[in-house]
Chains A and B, each alone.
Chain A
C-alpha cells in the first residue's frame, strides 16, 4: 500500500488498488449507487409501460397485457390487436418523447447554464405549434411532402429553425448564455403572437384542429412515427454521452472549461444541433408537450448529481418514466375520458416549475 504523500507527481503508473484512502472507496460506492439508480429508473419505466398497456377503454388485467405483449398462448386475437396495434405504439411513443425532451432539456440546462432552460420555455414548442398551424390553416408547408406529413413536416422544420435561429442570434450578440435565454423567451412570445394571428383567420374547423394539435396528444402515434423517433434518439444519444466529460467541466464555468482545452463554442453548437433534432422530431409527432424537458433533468439531478455520464442517461430515463406515468394519468384521471397528455404534463410540471423558481430565489 502506498499513501498519498509518497504518490509520485502526476501519479501516472500507480494502479488504483495500490492506494488506500476512504475517499476512493466512497467514490466507488457512489458510482455503484448511481448505476443502481439508473437500473431502478429503467424498472420504473418498464412498470409504467405495462400499466399503460393495461389501461384504456377496455381495461385489461396486467397479466393479460403481459401475455399479449409476450405472445403467450390463450390470448384472444382482439386483445393482441388492441395491445400491439393500438396501445403499444402510444405507450412507446410516450417513453421516447419523454426521453427525447428530457435529454434535450438536460443538455440545454448545461450548455446555457440555466436551470429554467427547456425546449418548452425557450420557444421551440411555440415555433412547432406555429409551423403546424400554418400547415393546417393555410396549407403552407414543405414542398413535395405527402399531404399526410404536411403538418408533421412543418412542425419539425419550424422547431429546428427556431433552435438554429437561437444559435444564430446568440452568436451575433456579445452576451453569453444569458442572452440566449432571453432570445428564447422573445421567440416564444413572437411565435405565440403569430399563432394567434393564424388562429384568428382560421375557419372554425381548422381552428379546432390547431387547438387540438397544440394541446399535445399521444393518440396520433403509430409504428412508423415511433420508429422514426426511436432512430433519432438512438442516433443522437451516443454523441451526447461522448461529450459528457466536457459538459461536466462546463458546469465548473465556461472560462474554466476553456482553460482545460474544451472548445466551448463547438460543444454548444453540436449540443444545440442534438437538442433541435430531438425536440423537433418529438414535437412534430405529438404536438406541444410542456415541462417534461424541464422536470426530467431536475429530478435526475437530485437523484444522481451532474456527472454527465450518469446525468444524461438518468434524465432520459426520468423523462420517459414521467411521460409514461402522465400517459397513464391521462387515461385514469377522468374515467372514460382520454385527456390530451400535454395538459397532464403541464398540470404536473407547473407546480414543479414554481417550486424551482422559489428555491432559486431562496438561494440568491
Chain B
C-alpha cells in the first residue's frame, strides 16, 4: 500500500503508436495519495493513450515517478503489482464466473499474487458489494454489475495506483453512483486513482483534481472549480456554455450551442 506521501509525477512523457505520436512532452502537476484525478477532454485528446502509456501498453518514454519508482522502467510483472488497469470495452463473452475472472487476474502474469487466490478474489468482490454474484456467469450480468466485476479484477492485487478508462460510461444512474462511490472509497483508503470521464459535471462532482487534455497537450489542470470554466469549454470543446457554481461548491454546465 502506498504511504501517505506517495505521489504520481509525470514529466516529459512521449507516447503513441507506430508512426502516430499522441503525447509529446506531457508534464503534469504531482498527484497525491487519496486523490481522484479525472482526465477530461474531447475524443482523440490522448486520455486513453495516457492511461495505456502509464501501464506499459503503448511505447512511451519520459519520466513517470510513483513513490520513488520509475514506472516506465519496470518489468511487466513488477508493474502489475503497482497498477490496476481497467480498460474500456471489456468483452463479456468469456464463459467464466465472476469469481473465476478475478482469480485468473491473480494467477496470471509474470508474478502470480501470493495467498489463497480464492479468498483474495472473494474479498475483492465483497468490498465492491458483489460477493453474492461470485458464482454468476460474466455473460449473465447487467452492464453495471459487469463493470463492478471488472473493477474487482483491477483491484484484486491491491495495487496502490488505479487507472480506469471510462468506468461509468453506458451505465445507468444507479450504477454510475455505485461505481464512482467504490472508486471514492478506494482512493480514500490511500490510493491514487486516475480516471477518464466524459461527463464534466460528474467529473467535477467526484474528482479532486482535473486534467484537461486537448490534442495530446495539457490544456489546464487543478481543482474542478478552477478548471471547468466557460473559457475552457470554448477553447477545448468549441462549445458556448454557461458554468454555474452552486452554493455547495458543485458545478452546473449548460451548453448553449457550438461556437460559431
Given contacts A252-B153, A256-B90, contact A261 B118 (CB under 8 A): no
A 1-40 to B, binary, CB cutoff 8 A, 1 in contact else 0: 0001101011111111001010110110010000000000
A256 to B90, CA, bound (A): 8
Residues of chain B at the chain A interface (Cβ within 8 Å) = 1, 18, 52, 55-57, 75-80, 83-87, 90-91, 94-97, 99-101, 104-105, 107-112, 114-116, 118-120, 122-123, 125-126, 131-132, 134-135, 153-154, 157-158
- Are A23's CB and B134's CB within 8 A? yes
Q: Note all chain A residues with C-beta closer than 8 A to B135.
A: 23, 26-27, 30
The smallest C-beta distance from A24 to any residue of chain B, in angstroms, reads 6
Q: Which residues of B contact A5 (CB under 8 A)?
A: 126
> 27 A-B pairs, CB-CB below 8 angstroms?
A4-B122, A4-B123, A11-B116, A12-B115, A23-B125, A23-B135, A26-B134, A27-B134, A248-B107, A249-B109, A251-B104, A252-B91, A252-B94, A252-B104, A252-B105, A252-B153, A255-B85, A256-B86, A260-B105, A261-B76, A261-B77, A262-B76, A262-B108, A262-B109, A262-B110, A263-B110, A301-B95
B18 / chain A contacts, CB cutoff of 8 Å: 174
User: Contacting B1 at CB < 8 Å: which of A9, A24, A256, A306?
Assistant: A9
Residue A258 at the B interface, CB < 8 A?
yes
CB proximity of A364 to chain B, nearest CB, Å: 11
Within 8 A of B (CB), among A240-262: 245-246, 248-249, 251-253, 255-262
| Chain A interface, number of residues (Cβ within 8 angstroms) | 40
Nearest A residue to B84 via CB reads: A259
Interface core residue of A13, A14, A26, A27 (most chain B CB under 10 Å): A27
A26 nearest CB neighbor, chain B only: B135
Do the beta carbons of B112 and A245 come within 8 Å of each other? yes
Residue from B1, B76, B119 within 8 A of A258 (CB atoms): B76
Of A23, A257, A258, the residue contacting B122 (CB under 8 A) is A23
Kindly list chain A residues whose C-beta atoms are within 8 Å of the C-beta of B157.
260
- In the bound complex, do residue B99 and residue A249 qualify as a contact, i.e. CB atoms below 8 Å apart? no
Interchain CB contact under 8 A, A306 and B109: no
From B96, B119, B158, A248 is in contact (CB under 8 Å) with B96
Whole-angstrom distance between the Cβ of B189 and the nearest chain A Cβ: 9
**Contact status B97-A13, CB under 8 Å:** no
